[in-house]
Every structure is written in C-alpha cells, then in structure tokens.
Amino acid sequence: MANVDVRTFDTVHQTQRLYRKLLDAMARPGTVRSAADDCLGLPFGSGGESAAAAIALTLVDGEVAFSFDLGGSSPEKPAEWIRKRTFGRVTAPDKADYVFVPGMPEETEIVQRYGSIRTGSLMSPEDGATVLLLVSGFGPSGESGHGWTLSGPGISGETEFFVSGLSPVWMELRERWNELYPMGVDMILFSPDGELAALPRTTKCTRSA
C-alpha cells in the first residue's frame, strides 16, 4: 500500500480498511460494500474522484502502472496527484495494471480506447489488468440500471446483481477478455458515495431478463 503525505486522509488506517473491503469484495463477487468513511479527507469534490483516489492510494505503488480518466474536464490533474503520492507510473489503458474509467462513456469510445486491456498470459495470468469502473450506484433503479445473474467461486448457487450507470458494452468486453481463463481481467465497480463491488474473472455474469 502506498505511503503518502495527505494531512486529512489517514493513509494507514483508511487504506488498510479499504484494502480489506476490496479483498472481501473480490472473495464475494457481487456483494456491495460501503467504503464511504474510507474515502473522506481527499481534495476532490463529488463525481467519484474521491472514491477513485482512495482506491488508487490503496492499490497503486511504484511497481505498477495505472491509467486514470473518469471523464472530467481535466483528467490529468487527479492522475498527476495520485502519481506524486504513490510513485505509480501513468500510462495508456492497454499498458496499465489498474485502469480507472467511467462506466458510461460513449460505446464507441469503450471499444476503441479500452478494447485492448491487458489479459496476462498463460504463463503469467496475474499480469491481467484490473478495471475500476465508476458507476452511478447499485440497486434496481434508474433507466441506466441493469441486472445480472452471477455464479462462480465465492457465490452460493446464483445471486442477482444490480448496477446503474454501467454500459452493457463493458460486460460484453469482459466476456471476451475472460474467455481464455486463467487469462483475463478483474473488475471493481465503485460509486461516488463510496459503495463498491467486484466481478473477478472467475465470475460468470448473465444478463437478467
């Protein structure tokens, strides 16, 4: 975990708590966790950048590369802020270990810019990227909401998962990325209010009727 000098953000306790919640989310796919208290104290306003920055401070360090663009007017500003405090390398999405991106960009942009995310290799599947998607929220509400039936490790039978502000194109790409398991891409979904859930590459997702 990164060691940074943010006065109002408790880099020891908040990142440790958030790290445990991220691990728990990966172990229990589709289970929504609240990390609102662990995203406080960062110099970003609403729109999800505080939640994204807290996750970045927890996961990024000098050994990894990350891509950060949540669709704001100046995407380089939070990326540079994170880089200075974690020593991670800012790079293009297809070369990044962690890719921070909005859940609802233009569909053509998703395919053109993010279609070549790293999936690792058969010898090193752990080199596959983690895609961190900013969504509107979790629950069956809103015109942009969709339901998914999840199954696989960490899930007893099947579970229903609802998310708003996530383009179905992401899930189509996810299926393509993960078709050659153990190669693939893990996903972490997070909302502006600090809720998060994970879809590891081992999770099967089927669109609900």
Question: What are the φ/ψ torsions at residue 161 (nearest 5 degrees)?
Answer: -130, 125
Strand pairing report for 145-151 and 204-207: antiparallel
**Residue 99: strand pairing partners:** 67, 131
Q: Residues 103-160: pLDDT tens digits?
A: 998 888 899 989 899 999 999 999 999 999 999 999 876 556 789 999 999 999 999 9
Which domains, and CATH codes, for the chain? 11-207 (3.40.50.11310)
Q: Are 189 and 166 in contact (CB under 8 A)?
A: yes
Which stretches of the chain are assigned E, i.e. beta strand? 33-34, 65-68, 89-90, 98-102, 130-134, 137-138, 145-151, 158-164, 186-190, 195-199, 204-207
User: Phi then psi for 91, rounded to 5 degrees?
Assistant: -145, 180
Q: Report pLDDT for 157.
A: 94
pTM, entire model: 0.91
What is the structure's pLDDT at 209?
A: 58
Share of the chain above pLDDT 90, in %: 75
